[in-house]
Structure 1
Amino acid sequence: MSETNGAPAEQPQSLPERPKGEEEGEKGPSKNALKKAAKDKEKAEKAAKRKAAEEAQKKESEANDVSAEDYGELPMIGSKAYTAPSVPTTWVELAEIAQRYSSQSETEGVGAQIVFRAAVENARNQSAKLSFLVFRQGADSIQAVVAASEKLSRQMVKFAGSIPAESIVDVHAEVQRPREPVKSTSIQHLEVHVQKLYIVSKAEAQLPLQVADAERPIPEEGKEDQQEDEGRPIVGLATRLNNRVIDLRARHNDAIFEIKAGVVQLFQEFLFARNFRLVQTPKLLGAPSEGGASVFEVSYFDKKAYLAQSPQLYKQMLIAARKERVMEVGTIFRAENSNTARHLTEFIGLDLEMAFKEDYHEVVTLLEELMLHIFNGLRTRYSKETDLVRSIYHVEDFKLPAAGAVPRLSFAEGIRMLKDDGVEIGEFDDLSTPDEKRLGALVLKKYGSDFYVLDQYPLAIRPFYTMPSAATQAAYDAKDPNAGYSNSYDFFMRGQEIMSGAQRIHDAAFLERRMKEHVAPVDPQSEGLRDYVNAFRYGCPPHAGGGIGLERIVMLWLGLPNVRLASLFPRDPGRLMP
């Protein structure tokens, strides 16, 4: 083969292959090809005729649709200029209707005309002339009937039964009484007969998870890989949290966060009535404030900043500023790599601090009264929500002590109870989670209460600002400065800690000494602590307080298996989205 400039020389081209079915001298397609083309043409003509007939039938049907203006998908609200109707629409809530016509009378409310907006929980065509839907607002749901008549077309019936679940609709309807109570809805003594039905926002037909499946328990520990239970899919916690917007639509989630808001309300109303002032302390710090451990570092312009792991130091500084009773509801950040069912890296803290006159137990007593106020408030005001959640996560009713009879044990007494029960533990050892739960069970058995206080913790396992007990101070030994007990306490629900607190050191010189000799020493003159220590140089009353984990209260009150279920969009070491 010869080459020119490195390129291969041209090769002679071969003749193109003769098409199949053609012989030498043939000029057109074969008979088979002609037959196939004729058949294809005939099919196309039939399909076109069929389509034309369907279109004609559809146009005729639409022309004869008596309900043509009474159903359909509305233009996106906001996409067109709004013109107020001459007669304003009176919108109602399902709960309001259920309450208004709550009697057992078979005629009360019948025929009342109402307009409401709701989500479609489910829709189905019973027949060409009848569809059933369930509409929902929050925790309230009602059955709806769409029945063909002289005034309501079959086309509207078909449309109603095909609306995707979770779509938002506007409903014009007439109130009626069902022949029998509707057991599948929360409003059982009423139903609505639809007259007009418009889609405001249409949901996609395929959802990442069904709301009905989110209204079941999360898989038990060790059964996360189980796919089905009684023929229904099991939706794990990760899937729920990844699709949290849909998950939060579940009725029991409505109840969980009603209760969570209720805890905050009860906390504040109790303390407002006792002259506490609501404050907001910084969440961005220029330096780690409590020893530097477990803090998140963030970029702050041209320097580093840190997310507050507690409002503790600021609460005390406010006491020194003569604000003698303060409370806060705020976000707390903990950079602890704890992947447990009861830990979050971001949670809501219910904090308080107050000056006392003679002894820190004045504060402990107030805290006990506060918690009983919250528990009793949840029991009386949120019994419906509590019962709903506990019907999914089965747990015993929370057992409360009588007012003034909260079990208050010393730490030493708690250790003795554990030892008597066969637990190997040292006198000054910190309690592990299993130890706490076991002690909670022992307290419940002995005192009949799921709520108790453990007082006088060992000094060595409490923060540097904790006041040593009087006996510990009297027996002070510079060679072992962290021996003994402290004026500190933890509160427990169902054997798990919900609050930690103590009397704080309010004397600057003593505070400096304790900071230096603490198990984990800190520098009183460090950038993050200098202003805090100086606050006590100008006179400060004795004070104590505590920090309560809001999600922990909700979890333990309801018997939830995981604290993440009590957080709208939880954050843990592995989750920053959504």
Structure 2
Amino acid sequence: MAENTAPPAELPERTKEAPAEDGEKGPSKSALKKAAKDKEKAEKAAKRQAAEDAQKQASEANDISKEDYGDLPMLGSQPYLPPNEKVPRVRLSEIAEEYKDTSSMTEKGGPEIVFRGVVENARAQGAKLTFITFRQDADTIQAVVAESETLSRQMVKFAGKIPTESVVLVHALVKKPLEPVKSTTVQHLELHVKKLFVVAKADQQLPMQVADAERPIPGENEEEKPAEEEGGRPIVTLNTRLNNRVIDLRGKHNHAIFTIKDGVINLFQEFLRARGFIGVNSPCLLGAPSEGGASVFEVKYFNTKAFLAQSPQLYKQMLIAARFEKVMEVGPIFRSENSNTARHLTEFTGLDMEMAFEEDYHEVVSLLEELILSICEGLRTRYKRETDLVRSIYHVEEFKLPEAGKVPRLPFSEGIAMLREDGVEIGDFDDLSTPDEKRLGALVLKKYGTDFYVLDQYPLNIRPFYTMPSAETQAKYDPKNPNAGLSNSYDFFMRGQEIMSGAQRIHDATFLEKRMKECVTPVDPQSDGLRDYVNAFRYGCPPHAGGGIGLERIVMLWLGLPNVRLASLFPRDPGRLVP
């Protein structure tokens, strides 16, 4: 590059014939000396820049790889010109599987592949060699950029300076490493880079590193403060990670968590669809609270008010009355509960089902038991890789499942008796606290050898107004104490924590109105939001039952995560509304 830097302007010299006007003094000797030094310094800088530019031009002229690396223009900033020959892109997972057996791979290696990935780290080993770890989804692989007759030292230098988390387009040769690469998920292969282009460059300084997302967070009973692991590196707190969730989600185990979460939805729908269920979508904006008014978000709805759905309960039942005898739904659930615990969210995803039954509500309980077992078995087999990856960070016991048909189904009274025998003070009709549930889970595991069990026949006074009282309770009805006795309701538990609540519903309009008025928190059956719901049962509705599963909670408990927020992409709790 030709030198074009103009020299700095010189100070004009005042001649003897041009004295300072009006007695003005000329520059001092020190000022003149400083100006001369500045001029000399500027001239040296200009020469140095010119030399560097000339050296750069010469280097570029001798760069045999100058067409094989660099920063690509931003996609969309230029007209798109289709390539003459479109090279197919590959997935690292596919390559790892295709070349699982490397015994027949020659020294020259396998094929040349093209893929887009992310720079997890780049480590320059002198001027002639750079190692890069590329990441694609949950897969990582080591790559080598080495100076050779066909690859320049300039390209090696460029590779070593690519910022972490930059998106790159890579052309590389697949080879067998001299020994397994233990620091990556793909250990039996490595890549020898031929071309390397930056598609989107990341900032040099990130608010947190993806490596921070690969470390465990403190459990519920541990203090929320930076801790140190064996290497002495501080463990980033959950709040910091959630505040920088986009970077946090890039961690391999986070990709595995949400692959498993999607798998639970798929397994839920697959099981029920095979048994005649159809998927439905009910409203999230309601004219009345679906659970009787407690823990509900109220929102302005034009000139009136509406409520965010606490569940699709009312609409599931109305669909049964509409002759849809088996329905399922996956959708958002909103709970205005000021619970700042490791197991509660104000917005989560519900897996709901409702079905008509023939003789007894336990037909539905049995189906739900089969459903949970099917989901867990599917996770154990189809999602073993993802499960193992997450459990390598959060070390928990493998989830213990009972045999089909042998799920412990305990009457609520038996659960209370087990707790009392263990020293817990609790009444016959008291609801279980979180510590009670966890303690009972430990007792069931010890007695039955399973992390999954059911509690049946809950007290009527702690269930919603639409819950069917048990036959014995109806026979002993006391108008002075209408909420005494038990109900045809049930909860399902994993690792001692509730994952699903369900019941037989009242399907007779007259009885439903009676229960709405008598329940612990009475509701008006003729209110605008509930009138249509009650009327649905005046036209003939079959007996039915169902339940709702908390998706995030089942993922948390299957994997043994210490906090349900880790199973929500962008969690909402009483203290968090962003990002």
How would you bin the TM-score normalised by the shorter chain? Answer: over 0.9
Task: Find the aligned partners of 1:34 and 1:388 in 2 and give their Cα distance.
Answer: 71
Counterpart mapping for 1:378-389 below 5 A: 378-389=379-390
Question: Where does residue 522 of structure 1 map in the other structure?
Answer: 523
Question: Where does residue 5 of structure 2 map in the other structure?
Answer: none
Structure 1 counterpart SS, 2:41: helix
| 1:106–1:177 Cα contact (<8 Å) kept | no
Task: Find the aligned partners of 1:270 and 1:413 in 2 and give their Cα distance.
Answer: 31
TM-superposed deviation, 1:531: 0.7
2:142 maps to amino acid: Q
Matched residues, percent identical?
A: 77
Question: Where does residue 161 of structure 1 map in the other structure?
Answer: 160
Structure 1 counterpart SS, 2:180: coil
Task: Find the aligned partners of 2:105 and 2:489 in 1 and give their Cα distance.
Answer: 63
| 1:287–1:305 Cα contact (<8 Å) kept | yes
TM-superposed deviation, 1:39: 2.8
Q: Kindly tell me: are residues 426 and 26 of structure 1, through their superposed partners in 2, closer, same or farther at Cα, counting changes over 3 Å?
A: closer
TM-superposed deviation, 1:111: 4.3
Instruction: Tell me the matched-pair count.
Output: 556
Counterpart mapping for 1:253-264 below 5 A: 253-264=254-265
Question: Where does residue 96 of structure 2 map in the other structure?
Answer: 98
Question: Where does residue 174 of structure 1 map in the other structure?
Answer: 173
Whether 1:226 and 2:206 are equivalent positions in the alignment is no
2:125 maps to amino acid: Q
| 1:279–1:326 Cα contact (<8 Å) kept | yes
Question: Where does residue 370 of structure 1 map in the other structure?
Answer: 371
Task: Find the aligned partners of 1:141 and 1:471 in 2 and give their Cα distance.
Answer: 61
TM-superposed deviation, 1:420: 0.6
Q: 2:69 aligns with which of 68, 71, 75?
A: 71
Counterpart mapping for 1:172-571 below 5 A: 172-220=171-219, 221-226=221-226, 228-229=228-229, 230-571=231-572
Structure 2 counterpart SS, 1:358: coil
1:112 maps to amino acid: P
Task: Find the aligned partners of 2:507 and 2:25 in 1 and give their Cα distance.
Answer: 110
Deviations 1:246-265 (A, max 9, x none): 11110110111011111111
2:371 maps to amino acid: L
Task: Find the aligned partners of 2:294 and 2:47 in 1 and give their Cα distance.
Answer: 78
Structure 2: stretches of 5+ with no match in the other structure: 1-19
Range 486-495 or range 180-189, more displaced: 180-189
Task: Find the aligned partners of 1:559 and 1:227 in 2 and give their Cα distance.
Answer: 20
Deviations 1:174-218 (A, max 9, x none): 122211111111111111111111100000111111001111011
Deviations 1:539-569 (A, max 9, x none): 1111111011001100001011111100001
Task: Find the aligned partners of 2:372 and 2:552 in 1 and give their Cα distance.
Answer: 14
TM-superposed deviation, 1:536: 0.7
Range 221-230 or range 505-514, more displaced: 221-230
Question: Where does residue 56 of structure 2 map in the other structure?
Answer: 58
Task: Find the aligned partners of 2:227 and 2:458 in 1 and give their Cα distance.
Answer: 46
| 2:102–2:176 Cα contact (<8 Å) kept | no
Deviations 1:251-301 (A, max 9, x none): 110111011111111111110111011111111112333322221122222
Question: Where does residue 115 of structure 1 map in the other structure?
Answer: 114
1:171 maps to amino acid: V
Task: Find the aligned partners of 1:525 and 1:431 in 2 and give their Cα distance.
Answer: 33
Question: Where does residue 82 of structure 1 map in the other structure?
Answer: 80
TM-superposed deviation, 1:143: 1.0
| 1:452–1:493 Cα contact (<8 Å) kept | yes
Question: Where does residue 45 of structure 1 map in the other structure?
Answer: 43
Question: Where does residue 8 of structure 1 map in the other structure?
Answer: none
Task: Find the aligned partners of 1:217 and 1:62 in 2 and give their Cα distance.
Answer: 46
TM-superposed deviation, 1:26: 9.5
| 1:177–1:189 Cα contact (<8 Å) kept | yes
| 1:219–1:235 Cα contact (<8 Å) kept | no
1:107 maps to amino acid: M
Structure 1: stretches of 5+ with no match in the other structure: 1-21
Question: Where does residue 10 of structure 2 map in the other structure?
Answer: none
Task: Find the aligned partners of 2:532 and 2:341 in 1 and give their Cα distance.
Answer: 35
| 2:90–2:114 Cα contact (<8 Å) kept | yes
Task: Find the aligned partners of 1:87 and 1:194 in 2 and give their Cα distance.
Answer: 20
TM-superposed deviation, 1:85: 1.3
Task: Find the aligned partners of 2:227 and 2:515 in 1 and give their Cα distance.
Answer: 55
Structure 1 counterpart SS, 2:436: helix
Deviations 1:323-362 (A, max 9, x none): 1111111111111111111111111101111111111111
TM-superposed deviation, 1:508: 0.9
Question: Where does residue 152 of structure 1 map in the other structure?
Answer: 151
Structure 1 counterpart SS, 2:154: helix
Structure 2 counterpart SS, 1:60: helix
Task: Find the aligned partners of 1:318 and 1:469 in 2 and give their Cα distance.
Answer: 24
1:61 maps to amino acid: S
Question: Where does residue 15 of structure 1 map in the other structure?
Answer: none
Range 39-48 or range 387-396, more displaced: 39-48
TM-superposed deviation, 1:67: 1.0
2:140 maps to amino acid: S
Task: Find the aligned partners of 1:418 and 1:228 in 2 and give their Cα distance.
Answer: 37
Q: Kindly tell me: are residues 115 and 361 of structure 1, through their superposed partners in 2, closer, same or farther at Cα, counting changes over 3 Å?
A: same
1:97 maps to amino acid: I
Task: Find the aligned partners of 1:193 and 1:285 in 2 and give their Cα distance.
Answer: 59
Task: Find the aligned partners of 2:57 and 2:148 in 1 and give their Cα distance.
Answer: 20
Task: Find the aligned partners of 2:350 and 2:573 in 1 and give their Cα distance.
Answer: 16
2:58 maps to amino acid: E
